[in-house]
Amino acid sequence: MFDTSSKLRVGLAALSVAAGASLFPLSAQAEGTVNIYTYRQPDLIKPLLDAFTEETGIDTEVLFLDQGLEDRIAAEGENSPADVILTVDIGRLVNAKEKGVTQPVVDNQTINENIPAQYRDPEGHWIGLTTRGRVIYASKDRVEQDTITYEELADPKWKGKICMRSGQHNYNIALFASMIANLGEEQAEEWMKGLKENLARKPGGNDRGQAQAIYAGECDLGLGNTYYVGLMMNNDEEPEQKEWADAIKVLFPNSEDRGTHVNISGMALAKHAPNKENALELMEFLSSAEAQAIYAEENYEYPVLPSAEVSETVQSFGEIKPDTLPLADIAAQRKAASEMVDRVGLDDGPAS
């Protein structure tokens, strides 16, 4: 059974670090307010929301949950105070749609002009804001080449030299779903078998852990998201992470053909949004070049709006050419990707 009280405690703990954020009032509808449910840490979105309030005079109230956000909104039903959902990963956005806690935004001219179609749900239930590339971290000392493809990760020349987190993690499932969408299921499975045999160890840890393993000489290549490189480069609290970042270079797979797989942070309009007009105003603002530049800089991500500014840190990773395959097509292959990971036994690691 979903424990709303425990999730509320999680939200309150997170909100204590975000100045100006507060818990929702008992009455969901309040003139001049928009209520946000989010998986993103409040301090990451605060600059964005402050800019929105300054521009519009509309206050924002934020509830952060680290899990179960969609279930909470579903449990609240028609009385839910949620207006806008902010989250990361195409899987979570699709999950919100599938659980029936969103409503379509299809005829909004501002949003449709700002956000390319490949980053919008065809039925309007979710909208991308920023992207992160699923790239290859490569040892600066031990890897000479500066170009690579995902397909090459199955080449025997990399046997015992690749590290990655669990194949069932959302970030990898999205990548594997893109491989199925691009190559077909049969070819993608053969590729995954080759990837498994090239692993240096059983998959584990997080994306930063793969950079750490490269720094330690445990492997030469690792799968990771671009924004983690920015987080490591600027981590003053744990300076050893700067050394991990300095040990790697970012390779953007398939830059010379279809492009690098990207995932998104995004937004959705809650199904029973009590402050719908305010919510749409926030969503329009979030789709703007100004907001995307702020959002992307805070999180070391790429804006989806081509004209929006990319931060200097992100530019330092190198130029990204995103795969143009619609994310909705990738999301449709997520179940097949998850089943393939189990069928291949990817998380068991290499056979020898």
Q: Do the domains spanning 4-130+264-308 and 133-260+322-348 agree at the CATH topology level? A: yes
**DSSP assigned state of 309:** P
How would residue 352 be classed by pLDDT, with cut points 50, 70 and 90?
A: low
Q: What is the pLDDT of residue 217?
A: 98
Q: What is the pLDDT of residue 202?
A: 97
Distance (Å, rounded) from C-alpha 219 to C-alpha 158?
Answer: 9
Which superfamily, per CATH, for 4-130+264-308? Periplasmic binding protein-like II (3.40.190.10)
Q: What are phi and psi for residue 149, nearest 5 degrees?
A: -125, 160
Distance (Å, rounded) from C-alpha 214 to C-alpha 147?
Answer: 18
Burial class of residue 277 (count of CB atoms within 10 Å of its CB; 0-12, 13-18, 19+): exposed
Q: What is the pLDDT of residue 277?
A: 96
Report the DSSP pairing between strands 33-38 and 221-225: unpaired
pLDDT, tens only, 134-182: 999 999 999 999 999 999 999 999 999 999 999 999 999 999 999 999 9
Place of tokens 């990451």: 44
Architecture of domain 133-260+322-348: 3-Layer(aba) Sandwich (3.40)
Spatial neighbors of 246 by CB under 8 A, at least 6 apart, are: 140
In the chain the first and final C-alpha atoms are separated, in Å, by 42
% of the chain exceeding 70 in pLDDT:
91
pLDDT, tens only, 259-300: 999 999 999 999 999 999 999 999 999 999 999 888 888 889
Domain range annotation of the chain? 4-130+264-308, 133-260+322-348
Q: What is the pLDDT of residue 154?
A: 98
